């Protein structure tokens, strides 16, 4: 029995924890784990770990492949998060850097890291059990089935906690950040699993977005990367520039040149392809040229607000996202602000 791994169901950002009454059928709240989204397929013989992007995660987490084959009691398809924790018992927290290092081309390096920084899996949804497809079932049913299937399994397989009380979710939002988690998710209890649809709600500690690296400008000193240009995909598949990332240290500016070199677009002669951004009255006398990058690298950035189709201010680099498919970086992920009458502010 081989399961077809679907695209994962997604969440849209909201500014605060929603009340259960805001959605028909109510809401279930759970911590938002900061790791690699993973859909785990176990058919009784083979384990496959699918990712949110196009890159399967199976080869990067051999310790989890072994654990799933050993522990899962029957064939199933589970949605969850792969995370890595560091620190001594009683003072552990999630560590993104250790997790991201696992995406490495050398099998020997992966094996070493699997021993030094072993991963664990946090399950939060069940899509299939045996020959039963659970995706059409409401989340309340899928959650019950998930708990029944794996709640008693030992480390490294865990089931995330949930609550139906928004006050508990708000407490988690405040407290769990200290353990490396990055917010809370609210899931409609009555809804079926909806691949690639943003039918859940996420409440994070800061506004962040996953964007695609489009190119870079050379620093005004003539050395290193001065700013990294980033973009998002529109509904019709166009990649739009949305802003830039800057404020690198001197050492980081120089290292980025080498880090981005494999992604530089080149012409038939092997020379780097350049472009120019649109000029404005603020950049009329500035050099607006940039080195083009193939749209293959994804990074997470922090931003304060969106104005039209662009970030209002320069955004801040948070981390690279090797687990993300560039095509999944769309405007839909961004938090939108409700319109408000300026007159009401001035009154």
Output the six-digit token pair for 35: 């790791």
CB 39 within 8 A of CB 49: yes
**Of 306, 27, 30, which is closest to residue 183 (Cα–Cα)?**
30
Q: What distance in Å separates the CA atoms of residue 68 and residue 84, rounded to the nearest whole number?
A: 16
CB 205 within 8 A of CB 183: yes
| Residue-by-residue DSSP string for 192-245 | PP-TT-EEEEEEESS-EEEEEEEEEEEPTTSSSEEEEEEEEE-TTS-EEEEEEE
Measured CA to CA in angstroms, residue 132 lies from 3, 192, 207 at distances of 11, 14, 38
Q: Is 202 a catalytic residue?
A: no
Q: Classify strands 27-31 and 183-188 as parallel, antiparallel or unpaired.
A: antiparallel
Q: What distance in Å separates the CA atoms of residue 32 and residue 160, rounded to the nearest whole number?
A: 9
Q: Classify strands 76-86 and 93-94 as parallel, antiparallel or unpaired.
A: antiparallel
Paired residues of 12 in beta bridges: 201
Cα-trace Rg, the chain: 22
CB 331 within 8 A of CB 232: yes
CB 176 within 8 A of CB 24: no
For residue 29, whether the previous peptide bond is cis, meaning omega lies within 30 degrees of 0, is no
Q: What distance in Å separates the CA atoms of residue 134 and residue 156, rounded to the nearest whole number?
A: 24
CB 170 within 8 A of CB 15: no
Output the six-digit token pair for 331: 């405007």
Active-site residue identified among 32, 187, 202, 204? 32
Any idea which residues carry the catalytic annotation? 32
């Amino acid at each position: 029995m081989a399961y077809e791994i679907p695209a994962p169901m997604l969440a849209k950002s909201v500014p605060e924890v929603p009340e259960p009454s805001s959605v028909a059928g109510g809401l279930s709240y759970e911590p938002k784990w900061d790791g690699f989204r993973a859909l785990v397929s176990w058919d009784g013989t083979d384990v496959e770990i699918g990712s949110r992007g196009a890159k399967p995660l199976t080869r990067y987490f051999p310790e989890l492949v072994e654990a799933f084959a050993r522990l899962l009691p029957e064939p199933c398809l589970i949605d969850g998060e792969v995370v890595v924790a560091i620190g001594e018992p009683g003072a552990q927290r999630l560590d993104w850097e250790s997790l991201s290092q696992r995406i490495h081309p050398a099998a020997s390096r992966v094996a070493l890291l699997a021993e030094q920084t072993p991963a664990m899996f946090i399950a939060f949804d069940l899509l299939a059990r045996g020959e039963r497809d659970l995706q059409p079932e409401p989340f309340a049913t899928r959650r019950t089935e998930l708990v029944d299937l794996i709640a008693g399994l030992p480390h490294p397989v865990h089931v995330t906690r949930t609550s139906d009380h928004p006050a508990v979710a708000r407490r988690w939002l405040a407290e769990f950040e200290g353990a490396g988690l990055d917010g809370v998710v609210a899931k409609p209890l009555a809804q079926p699993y909806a691949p690639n649809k943003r039918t859940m709600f996420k409440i994070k500690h800061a506004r962040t977005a996953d964007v695609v690296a489009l190119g870079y400008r050379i620093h005004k000193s003539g050395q290193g990367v001065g700013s990294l240009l980033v973009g998002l995909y529109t509904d019709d598949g166009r990649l739009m520039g949305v802003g830039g990332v800057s404020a690198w240290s001197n050492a980081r500016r120089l290292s980025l040149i080498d880090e981005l070199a494999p992604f530089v677009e080149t012409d038939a002669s092997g020379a780097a392809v350049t472009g120019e951004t649109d000029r404005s009255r603020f950049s009329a006398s500035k050099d607006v040229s940039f080195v083009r990058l193939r749209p293959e690298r994804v990074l997470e950035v922090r931003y304060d607000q969106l104005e039209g189709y662009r970030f209002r201010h320069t955004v801040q680099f948070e981390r690279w996202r090797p687990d993300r498919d560039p095509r999944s970086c769309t405007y839909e992920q961004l938090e939108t602000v409700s319109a408000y009458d300026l007159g009401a502010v001035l009154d």
